[in-house]
Amino acid sequence: MMKTKWLYAQVVLVVIASFILSACGAVNSATANMKKDIGKGEGEVAIIDWPGYVERGANDPNFDWVTDFEKTTSCKVTVKDAASSDEMVSLMNQGGFDLVTASGDASLRLIAGGTVQPINTDLIPSWKTVDSRLQNAPWHTVSGVHYGVPYQWGPNVLMYNTKVFTDAPKSWGVVFTEQNLPDGKTNSGRVQAPDNPIYMADAALYLKATKPDLGIKDPYELTKPQFDAVVSLLQQQRKLVPKYWHDATTQVEDFTTEGIIASSSWPYQVNLLIANKQPVSSTFPQEGATGWADTTMMNSKAPHPNCAYLWLEHSIQPKVQGDVAAWFGSVPAVPTACTGNALLGPDGCKTNGSENFDKISFWKTPVADCGDGNKTCIPYSEWVKAYVSIIGGK
């Protein structure tokens, strides 16, 4: 019941957000109120992050990019981990937080709702070091106005059990269609999918490669027939999935004790399981992969804006960027962070997928108007309704 209530709350939230996105058309780019200078720090900065994005050495003393920041700025860092983009949107709307490390399926909703404010990049000296492919990315830049600072990026990988798969599976089909695996057993009851409506894009990407007659070009821009095909595939997958994972900790436990052997995942879980000496690895399947390019965005009512700006600058220092990438399994938003980092190593960025940028379909919020002017695509509110129904077995 708790899960059902949570999902229902998210449906309501996203329907409202989608309405705002479609009705507002004009995104609030009130640059007149943009900060022009950074004053004395307020003593605190409150951040909503993905688990593992803001570490102070509690999990491993080698990974700490908070302590020095606090000593240098006198801004105490408080962190709230979020399990999904929808949760991030909800928390930011509630207020009280300064920053959020938002993925592309949340960032435009935050901008459209006026929840985040434009960023004055002139106040961030290291802005010029950010990967040029990310500086003006459409998930945080509207009409030339930046609403955040790129943080990390990477693919949603196919994580698998190496005792079951002696060779890495080549296709996402191992989690979408029933089949016998190399150990002679079926995949039914042994695979997972995330409890996240944006996962429908993974199914769309798989169908783009395996059913070209559908004509899918962008997995986030689906016509009604294409969307119906995605729903059908996920309903088929529902029969294989005993449990959908909602957060990283749960998925790590499921791969450790529940007999799950394949799932879409983040490199973060892969790294945790390997560190725990579990028989897992990950791969980038032949159909490609969805992915995330996360942006640190500031609440329009940030209670500690000066400390927030100081963190934005700190967050893109090469040492910080490389350490985050090493811990999370991501790729730095600052390319120079890929060299000279002892924790990341000389091949760390390559291992984490730095050469796959052009092969990744980065998360973005699906909207009805997908470029044809006729609003023929299915908006995110409908994705949420459909996915809740699929998970519920309806």
> Do 176 and 247 share a domain, yes or no?
yes
Same domain, 191 and 315: no
> Residue 361: inside a domain, yes or no?
no
Which tens digit of pLDDT belongs to each residue from 170-229?
999 999 999 999 999 999 999 999 999 999 999 999 999 999 999 999 999 999 999 999
Q: How much is the pLDDT for 27?
A: 44
Q: Are residues 253 and 307 in the same domain?
A: no
Measured between alpha carbons, how far is 229 from 214 in angstroms, rounded to an integer? 8
**What pLDDT is attached to residue 373?**
72
Residues 183 and 258 reside in one and the same domain: yes
What residues have CB less than 8 Å from 188, skipping those under 6 apart? 178, 239, 240
Is 264 buried (19+), middle (13-18) or exposed (0-12) by CB count in 10 A? buried
Q: Give the CATH number of the domain where residue 91 resides.
A: 3.40.190.10
Output the pLDDT for position 156.
Answer: 95
50 plus 160 within the same structural domain: no
Of 365, 339, 360, the closest CA to residue 350 belongs to 339
Kindly state whether residue 352 falls inside one of the protein's structural domains. Answer: yes
Alpha helices in 44-199 (DSSP H): 67-73, 85-94, 104-112, 132-135, 173-176
- pLDDT level of residue 375 (50, 70, 90 thresholds): confident
- The CA-atom distances, in angstroms, between 205 and each of 74, 226, 254 are 46, 11, 25
As a whole number of angstroms, the distance between CA 26 and CA 184 comes to 56
Q: Is residue 183 part of a domain?
A: yes
Helical segments of 222-301, H only: 224-238, 248-257, 267-275
CA pair distance 315, 319, nearest whole angstrom: 9
- 176 shares a domain with 120: no
Domain count, the chain: 2
301 and 203, same domain (yes or no): no
pLDDT at 6 over 60: no
Q: What average pLDDT does range 114-142 have in this prediction?
A: 96
Q: pLDDT digit string (tens) for 322-347?
A: 999 999 999 999 999 999 999 999 99
Q: Are residues 309 and 338 in the same domain?
A: yes
Residues 150 and 160 in one domain: no
The answer to whether the CB of 21 falls within 8 A of the CB of 109 is: yes
Paired sense of beta strands 44-49 and 145-146, if any: unpaired
136 shares a domain with 36: yes
Q: Does residue 20 fall inside a structural domain?
A: yes
Summarised one tens digit per residue, pLDDT across range 14-52 is 444 443 444 344 344 456 678 999 999 999 999 999 999
Q: Domain for residue 178, yes or no?
A: yes
**pLDDT tens string 279-314:** 999 999 999 999 999 999 999 999 999 999 999 999
Residues 106, 179, single domain; the answer is no
At 302, is the secondary structure helix, strand, or coil? coil
Is the domain of 325 the same as that of 305? yes
Domain that holds residue 171: 156-290+367-391
